[in-house]
Amino acid sequence: MPSENFIKNITSKNNSISETTIKNLIKSANIEDFSFLCEKSDFIFPFLKEKIIKNFVKLIEENELNSVFEFSKVYSSDFEELIVSSWIKFANEDLTDNILELFDNGTDEQKAYAAKYFSYINDPCALDYLNKYAFCDYEPLKINCALALSKFSDKIAFNKAKEIVLTSKDDFEVLGAYSFITAYGSDEAIRFIVENYKKSTFRENIIVSLFDFCDYEKLTKILSNDEIIEIFSVLIQGYPENISLGTIIYYQIYDYIKLISTYNNQFANNILLITKTKFDEYNSSDIYSFDLDKDTKNELKNITQFLDRLSLSFGDILDELEKDNFRISLALDVIKELKIENAIQFIADLINNNKLSLDLCAKSAIVLKDLNKSSLINRENIKNIQNENIKALIESLLV
């Protein structure tokens, strides 16, 4: 069993203590201690994890690489760079051959680290292996294969993933293909995701994955203004139920908000209002922020203050109700939030004239109910709805 003081010592502010602990870990090749470190990762501040990785790579010597191979039996996304950077530090033909052998004889965890290694060391001998494991069930291995194949500009698995998205009827198989494509991360991959993700029932998962692998600079360079608003909207509406507020710095939420505020159109104003409503609530309640670190709390405060200073117009809100389903849904959220009365009759006409998809018809009926105007819905039209669940929902709102 690891010592009770192991985590305390390896994260110590005293460099002598932390480095001695790391050096002892390396020399002992104690996989139980390394496993314990990985298990406790969620409770270690990011800057301390970075310090551990940096010091490990600095202290490891070439004759101690057997310890790294032993630790590679335990996979941790947080300490992935500890393993891979140690290999890269001493990269040579013999070491690369040893890492290649992991694809044949190693565990899935070791194969995942090996794939990540070849995203830095582009040895063509790895290509067959990377394509072989590109659609395996072990997610870290699949993701690292995608990262490496992208660096090789090898598109065999990428094209297969696109084909799965376009032809498969299995939602989970499609989601798996999307996770590969997002990790692949090329300009073509990003364009493909944004043009197709709305067809999936897992659209939020896909967009979260996109933000995981593609930063602000890359996405804003490739996508149009409307596309940026759209994917940002999907991300924002996932907070805080499905996405931790602790990600707001990593996802560069503040940068997106500042950019979108310059667009000065109704679509942009709508998502900024929804974002403002959410962040006002987050900033005013300890329920959401009590476990956030200091930097994230400050970022949350800065975002809230920036949104409070914006002057948002909603004079063109009715025009949004004639756009695509995504923008109509967002507009309905705004109308409900602001109780925009001049939109009431327009919404009722959309329902009564069968101009909405069934899900938007139901959402529009809920908005009218909230505004005490459900009486404007034509009951005879509702009787003709084929989906019994939606019909029952709308009829319950008319009572």
Q: How far apart are the first and last CA of the chain?
A: 64
Domain boundary among 279, 311, 343: 311
Report the SS3 class of residue 42.
Answer: helix
Determine contact, residues 146/180, Cβ cutoff 8 Å. Answer: yes
Kindly give, in sequence order, each residue whose CB lies less than 8 Å from that of residue 16, ignoring residues fewer than 6 positions away.
none
Kindly state whether residue 270 falls inside one of the protein's structural domains: yes
Residues 244 and 326 in one domain: no
In angstroms, rounded to a whole number, what is the distance separating the alpha carbons of residues 286 and 331? 29
In angstroms, rounded to a whole number, what is the distance separating the alpha carbons of residues 30 and 28? 5
Kindly state whether residue 269 falls inside one of the protein's structural domains: yes
Kindly state whether residue 43 falls inside one of the protein's structural domains: no
In angstroms, rounded to a whole number, what is the distance separating the alpha carbons of residues 374 and 398? 6
Determine contact, residues 7/36, Cβ cutoff 8 Å. Answer: yes
pTM: 0.89
In angstroms, rounded to a whole number, what is the distance separating the alpha carbons of residues 340 and 87? 61
From first to last of its 399 residues, the chain has per-residue pLDDT tens of: 666 689 999 999 999 999 999 999 999 999 999 999 999 998 898 899 999 999 999 999 999 999 999 999 999 999 999 999 999 999 999 999 999 999 999 999 999 999 999 999 999 999 999 999 999 999 999 999 999 999 999 999 999 999 999 999 999 999 999 999 999 999 999 999 999 999 998 999 999 999 999 999 999 999 999 999 999 999 999 998 889 899 999 999 999 999 999 999 999 999 999 999 999 888 877 787 777 888 999 999 999 999 999 999 999 999 999 999 999 999 999 999 999 999 999 999 998 888 888 889 889 989 999 999 988 888 777 777 777 777 777 777 775
Bond prior to 240 in cis (omega within 30° of 0)? yes
| Radius of gyration over every alpha carbon of the chain, rounded to an integer in angstroms | 26
Kindly state whether residue 224 falls inside one of the protein's structural domains: yes
Domain count, the chain: 2
DSSP-assigned letters across all residues of 372-399 = T-GGGS-HHHHHT-S-HHHHHHHHHHT-
Kindly give, in sequence order, each residue whose CB lies less than 8 Å from that of residue 265, ignoring residues fewer than 6 positions away.
316
Kindly state whether residue 198 falls inside one of the protein's structural domains: no
Report the SS3 class of residue 285.
Answer: coil
Residues 350 and 378 in one domain: yes
In angstroms, rounded to a whole number, what is the distance separating the alpha carbons of residues 167 and 173? 10
Domain boundary among 278, 293, 311: 311
Residues 298 and 326 in one domain: no
Q: Which amino acid is it at 106? A: G
Residues 229 and 295 in one domain: yes
Q: What is the pLDDT of residue 2?
A: 65
Kindly give, in sequence order, each residue whose CB lies less than 8 Å from that of residue 166, ignoring residues fewer than 6 positions away.
196
Residues 299 and 351 in one domain: no
Domain boundary among 311, 346, 372: 311
DSSP-assigned letters across all residues of 67-128 = HHHHHTTS--STTHHHHHHHHHHT--HHHHHHHHHHHHHS-HHHHHHHHHHTTTS--GGGHH
Q: Which residues form the domain of 270?
A: 215-311
Q: What is the pLDDT of residue 156?
A: 97
